[in-house]
Amino acid sequence: MTTTNTTHGKVKGVDKLGCLQFRGIPFATPPLGTLRWQPPKPADKWDGVRDATEFGPTCPQNVGTMEAMGGVGRAAMPPMSEDCLTLNVWTPAADDARRPTMVWIHGGAFSTGSGRTPWYSGHNFARDGVVVVTVNYRLNAFGFLRFDELFDGFEGTGTLGIRDQIAALEWVRDNIANFGGDPDNLTIFGESAGGMSVGTLLASPKAKGLFTKAIPQSGAGHNSHTEQDASKIAEQFLDVVGVKAGDADALLALSAEQILEGAQGLAQTDVGRLPFQPCVGDDVVPVAPIDASRGGASKDVAVLVGTCREEWKLFSLGIREGQSLGRTHRPMQALFERAGKSADDVATVYEKKLATAERSGAAEQPSELDLRNAIETDRIFRIPAIRLAEAQVANGARTWMYRFDWPSKAMDGKLGACHALEIPFAFDNLNAPGANFFTGEGAPQDVATEMHAAWVSFARDGSPGWDAYDTERRATKLFDTPSTVADDPDGDTRVLWEGVL
Q: What is the pLDDT of residues 235-248, one digit of tens each?
A: 999 999 999 999 99
Nearest CA among 158, 156, 162, 155 for reference residue 146: 158
- State the pLDDT at residue 265: 82
> How confident is the model over 422-455, as pLDDT tens digits?
999 999 999 999 899 999 988 999 999 999 999 9
The domain spans of the chain are 2-305, 309-497
Distances (CA, A) of 493 to 192, 433, 496: 22, 37, 5
> How confident is the model over 311-323, as pLDDT tens digits?
999 999 877 655 5
- State the pLDDT at residue 97: 97
- State the pLDDT at residue 268: 62
Whole-number percent of the chain with pLDDT over 70: 92
Mean pLDDT of the chain: 92
Superfamily (CATH H level) for 2-305 = Alpha/Beta hydrolase fold, catalytic domain (3.40.50.1820)
Which sign, positive or negative, has the C-alpha torsion 213, 217, 222, 223?
A: negative
> How confident is the model over 172-223, as pLDDT tens digits?
999 999 999 999 999 999 999 999 999 999 999 999 999 999 999 999 999 9
- State the pLDDT at residue 366: 82
User: Looking at residues 18-34, what average pLDDT do you find?
Assistant: 91
Nearest CA among 169, 180, 138 for reference residue 21: 180
- State the pLDDT at residue 270: 53
Residue 107: HSE in the Cβ half-sphere, 13 Å Cα cutoff: 24
CA distance 459 to 59: 28
**Is a pLDDT exceeding 60 seen at residue 75?**
no
Point out the least confidently predicted range of 2-11, 49-58, 326-335, 481-490.
326-335
Helix (H, G, I), strand (E, B), or coil: what is residue 16?
strand
Distance of CA 142 to the CA centre of its chain: 17
**Is a pLDDT exceeding 70 seen at residue 329?**
no
> How confident is the model over 83-113, as pLDDT tens digits?
999 999 999 999 999 999 999 999 999 999 9
- State the pLDDT at residue 493: 96
**Is a pLDDT exceeding 80 seen at residue 491?**
yes
Distance of CA 120 to the CA centre of its chain: 12
**Is a pLDDT exceeding 50 seen at residue 483?**
yes
- State the pLDDT at residue 305: 98
Identical fold, 2-305 and 309-497: yes
Active site residues: 192, 311, 419
> How confident is the model over 350-403, as pLDDT tens digits?
988 888 875 444 445 788 888 889 999 999 999 999 999 999 999 999 999 999
- State the pLDDT at residue 66: 59
Residue 244: HSE in the Cβ half-sphere, 13 Å Cα cutoff: 2
CATH T-level topology, domain 309-497: Rossmann fold (3.40.50)
CB burial class (10 A; 0-12, 13-18, 19+) of residue 330?
exposed
Point out the least confidently predicted range of 127-131, 204-208, 341-345, 451-455.
341-345
User: Looking at residues 414-428, what average pLDDT do you find?
Assistant: 97
CA distance 166 to 221: 17
Residue 82: HSE in the Cβ half-sphere, 13 Å Cα cutoff: 20
Neighbours of 241 (CB within 10 A): 17
3-state secondary structure 395-440: CCCCEEEEEECCCECHHHHCCECCCCCCHHHHCCCCCCCCHHHHHC
- State the pLDDT at residue 69: 54
- State the pLDDT at residue 60: 95
**Is a pLDDT exceeding 50 seen at residue 16?**
yes
Is residue 73 very low, low, confident or very high in pLDDT (cuts 50, 70, 90)?
A: very low
Q: What is the phi-psi region of residue 406: left when phi exceeds 0, alpha when psi lies from -120 to 50, beta otherwise?
A: beta
